[in-house]
Amino acid sequence: WRRQAALAAAREDEEEKELRQRFMAPPVSGLRELRRRRRELRSRMELLIMETQAEVCRALTTLDPGASFAVDSWERKEGGGGISCVLQDGEVFEKAGVNVSVVSGLLSEEAAQQMRSRGKSLKAKDGKLPFCAMGVSSVIHPKNPHVPTMHFNYRYFEIEEADGTKQWWFGGGTDLTPTYLNEEDAVHFHKTLKEACDKHDPKLYPKYKKWCDDYFYIKHRGERRGIGGIFFDDMDSPSKEEVFQFVKSCAKAVVPCYIPIVKKHCHDSFTPEEKLWQQLRRGRYVEFNLVYDRGTKFGLLTPGSRIESILMSLPLTARWEYMHTPLESSKEAEILEVLRNPKDWVH
C-alpha cells in the first residue's frame, strides 16, 4: 500500500505541475482544492476560466512577441481574489487585459437591488445574501485602426437564499468593435460564434446576436458600441451541465473568431486621420462602459472590488472632439451606418 500511496502522490504532483504550466498563475481556489472538488461545477468553471485566460494571453503574445503580460494576483479580504493579466504599449496591442476573478461573500444591498431590477427574486436572511461569482473578462485595444477592439466575458453566479436554496446562472458574450468596417472580417467573426452556438441549439445564435445588439447600445448617441457578436445573461436552463457546456464552447471560440483578424491587419498601413478616427471611436467605448455597462456597475458596487481590474476595459488613449461629424459617403460614415442599423452577417 505504501508503494501505491507513493505512486498516487507522484501522480498528483505531476498533475499539479502540468496545471501550473497551463495557467498564467496559480488558481484563486488553489490547485489541490480544485482537484479535490474537480467534479463540482464551480471547480470546473474555475478551471475553464483559467484555461481561457492562458489561451488568450498566449495567442496575443504570439502576435506581439516583443510585449509581455504583467501578471498580478490579488486577494479580496471579503473572500476570494483574482488574476489580472495586462499588456501595455506593445507593437500590436496598445492595451490588452485578460482578467479572472473568483469572489465570494455577502452581496451588497446596491448589487442585490440591481439584480432585483432585472427580475430576480432574492430572499435575504437578516438582510444578507451569501454569493459566489467567478468569470473571465477581456478587452483588447490594438494600435492599428484597421484591427478591431474585441471584448469577451464569461461568468457564473450563485446566491444562497434565506431558506438555503441556491439560485445560479451563467452570463457572457463576445463582441467586436471595429474602427473601420471590413465585411469579410464581420462575417468571419459572426460565423465562428454561430458555429459555437449551433452545436447546442440553432435558436441560440439569432437570439443572443439580437441581445448583443440591444445591450451594447449607446442610447444618448443612438448607435451601437460595435458590430456585435453574442451576449446573454441569467441563463439557468435547460440544466447546469448543459449551460456549462454551451459556455465552454463560446469560450473556446474566442481565439479562432478574433486572432485571424488581428493577423490579417496588424501590419496594414494607416494615416494620421485614420488614427484620429480610432481615438474618437474609443471615446464612444469609454462612454458605454462607464454609463451603461452592467458588469462595470456591479463591480463598482461590490464591497472590496478591485477598481484597477474593473476599469481595465478602458483604452490607454481616447479622444472627444466637439460636434465631430464624418463626411458623407466616407469610410467613417460607413461604419456609423452599421452601428445605427445592425446587419445580419451570416445569411
Q: What is the set of active-site residues?
A: 151
3-state secondary structure of 329: coil
CA–CA distances in Å: residue 167 to residues 101, 141, 248, 284: 20, 35, 20, 35
Angle at 326 between CA 320 and CA 330, to 5 degrees: 140
Query: Alpha-carbon distance 80 to 82, whole Å?
Result: 7
Q: Where are the beta strands (DSSP E) in 196-242?
A: 217-218, 223-224, 228-235
The CB-based long-range contact list for 290-295 (8 Å cut-off, 24+ gap) reads 291/218, 291/220, 292/217, 292/218, 292/219, 294/114, 294/233, 295/137, 295/153
Closest C-alpha among 184, 188, 180 to residue 149: 180
Whether the CB-CB separation of 132 and 325 falls below 8 Å is answered with no
Query: Alpha-carbon distance 29 to 69, whole Å?
Result: 22
Q: Which triple of cell numbers denotes residue 153? A: 466575458
Report the interhelical angle of 240-252 vs 254-265 (nearest 10°). 10
